[in-house]
Structure 1
Amino acid sequence: MTGIYDDPWAYELACSFRDVPAEVGVLLGWCARHRAGYGPVRTVLELAAGPAEHAREFARRGPAATALDLHPAMCAYAARAAKDAGVELEVVQDDMTTFALGRRFDLVVTMLDSTSHLMTLDAFTAHLDRAAAHLAPGGLYIVEMSHPRDRLGDAPSVSTDWTVERGGTHATVRWGEPSDRLDPVTQIADDHVTMTVTEDGGAPRVIRDVVPYRFWTATELAAAVRLSGALEPVGRYGDFADIALDDPAAWRMITVFRAR
């Protein structure tokens, strides 16, 4: 049985509620703010990139973009999508905890809470080490994570439903079930995913998967940063806007790092 990460087209469709061009604009704005004096961003690396939507958008705007992902299907899809869009994109199949590309970048990003695939503190620390090792002088690492309120708030969000429309395609997505439980020791939950896709009024296609999800708190992120010692935070945001992490409207935990 194949899962959601084995079907990059469906995964990209599921995430199409995101406004990627607007998000990339914000990311570049944060770069202008936090790397003043180093000039515009010329090189970008997206880690755990999946379909590499953000990397492709960076490439459309001029920077040389590289997308790295562990899944062969995602890498192949990202390369095809970039070619179809007429943009230059280097695609690398590698692990976000061990990659060594032999060059440095003005900007490294990890989007869509992909750090939830790092299951241990050692893995997270290794990932931070690798990201820092690939930063050029003045370079930034920006990581987008889920907001801790999702799991620790008064009304934890253990499941999310949404609907997307694209062309003649309709899809409903349910990521997580109320019965999914976060293990209090490992802080890992097996999130049940169900996606139903209907194309041009045809028969529905259902994709089911179980995705291990590692929940990271803000203090654990700080601990991983201290253990690594290679990065320091220079900005924290609760959305792709200038709102604080503790703002009631905050729905993401986004941190901007630079190399120490």
Structure 2
Amino acid sequence: MIYDHPRAYELACSFRDVSAEVDALRSWAGESRDVLELAAGPAEHAREFARRGVPATALDLSPAMCAYARERGSGLPLEVVQADMTGFRLGRRFDLVITMLDSTAHLMTLDDFVAYLTCVREHLAGGGLAIIEMSHPADRLGDTPRVSNAWTVEKDGVNAHVRWGEPWDELDPITQVVRDRVTIAIDGGEVIEGIVPYRFWTATELTAAIRLTGGLTVEAQYGDFDPEVTLGSPHAWRMITLLRRAS
């Protein structure tokens, strides 16, 4: 399983500019007293918040990811919790809750999505903000995907060649689930392979899940971490939604 290899996963995703993305998250959320990252994986965004002095909590279902996040976050104001994002109780609320890198694609049903959003709502302080980064609907519904499924990255002198999905990985038109074949080939001969089920969510389905959950209001939507890029822009490559909990 890909998520049993957190170092390789972090390397594969190292094309992301986490520092710049946290700048954007903070510009939208303001000065948050604390932050919760859900389905955090290696918790790169939570760790970046913690490096900036913002107490952070990272939650993930994978024991390997949690262990890696604890190791990488040692000495920082970071707590790591192993739990399912659809059913957890931490006993406290946060100014900011984030879900990054299309982690909501691991929610396979509408009931799962509502359960996740309910947990988000119940862990947001009054007036708090949730930010959800999802893949752009054009990746599945448009003529040309907004992101590539193959790329090469380099981090700390280590190169990796990544394929996230193959042309023959078909989307089930009934369940809207695709089983992506993932390969991470690291220089030196290590090759990690796995199949990752992903649920494709449309913008209207997201709206329905928010309405069914209640207590959350859509404040804005963007197609990039640059707020000048709207969701409908031809340059949009993500669907980023800001949800505000009532005071």
The verdict on a shared fold, with TM-score over 0.5 as the criterion, is yes
* 1:250 equivalent in alignment to 2:220: no
* 1:164 equivalent in alignment to 2:150: no
Among 67, 86, 91, the alignment partner of 2:58 is: 67
Q: Partner residue of 1:52?
A: 43
CA distance in 1, matches of 2:203, 2:239: 8
Contact 1:159 1:177 in 2 (8 A): no
Contact 1:151 1:157 in 2 (8 A): no
Residue 166 of structure 1 deviates from its aligned partner by: 1.4
CA distance in 1, matches of 2:38, 2:183: 25
1:166/1:159 CA distance change after superposition, 3 Å: closer
Amino acid in structure 1 at the alignment position of 2:37: E
CA distance in 2, matches of 1:254, 1:158: 15
Q: Partner residue of 1:78?
A: 69
Residue 56 of structure 1 deviates from its aligned partner by: 0.3
CA RMSD of aligned residues (A): 1.1
Show the 5 A alignment for 1:73-222.
73-83=64-74, 86-156=75-145, 160-198=149-187, 203-222=188-207
* 1:12 equivalent in alignment to 2:3: no
Which stretch of the first structure deviates more once superposed, 151-160 or 4-13?
151-160
Q: Partner residue of 1:237?
A: 222
Identity %, equivalent residues: 65
Tell me which stretches of 4 or more aligned residues in structure 1 moved more than 6 Å: none
Q: Any idea what the Cα deviations from partners look like across 1:187-210, whole Å, max 9, x if unmatched? A: 000000011001xxxx31111100
1:115/1:162 CA distance change after superposition, 3 Å: same
SS in 1 for 2:224: coil
| Unaligned 5+ runs, structure 1 | 33-39
1:186/1:159 CA distance change after superposition, 3 Å: farther
SS in 2 for 1:241: coil
Residue 88 of structure 1 deviates from its aligned partner by: 2.0
Q: Partner residue of 1:29?
A: 27
Q: Any idea what the Cα deviations from partners look like across 1:24-61, whole Å, max 9, x if unmatched? A: 000000113xxxxxxx2111000000000000000111
1:170/1:158 CA distance change after superposition, 3 Å: closer
Q: Any idea what the Cα deviations from partners look like across 1:1-39, whole Å, max 9, x if unmatched? A: xx210000000000100000000000000113xxxxxxx
Residue 110 of structure 1 deviates from its aligned partner by: 0.1
Contact 1:66 1:89 in 2 (8 A): yes
Number of residue pairs aligned between Structure 1 and Structure 2: 245
CA distance in 1, matches of 2:62, 2:34: 23
CA distance in 1, matches of 2:218, 2:54: 24
| Unaligned 5+ runs, structure 2 | none
Q: Any idea what the Cα deviations from partners look like across 1:109-138, whole Å, max 9, x if unmatched? A: 000000000000000001001000001122
CA distance in 1, matches of 2:8, 2:239: 25
TM-score, normalised to structure 2, is 0.97
1:20/1:157 CA distance change after superposition, 3 Å: closer
Amino acid in structure 2 at the alignment position of 1:56: R
TM-score, normalised to structure 1, is 0.92
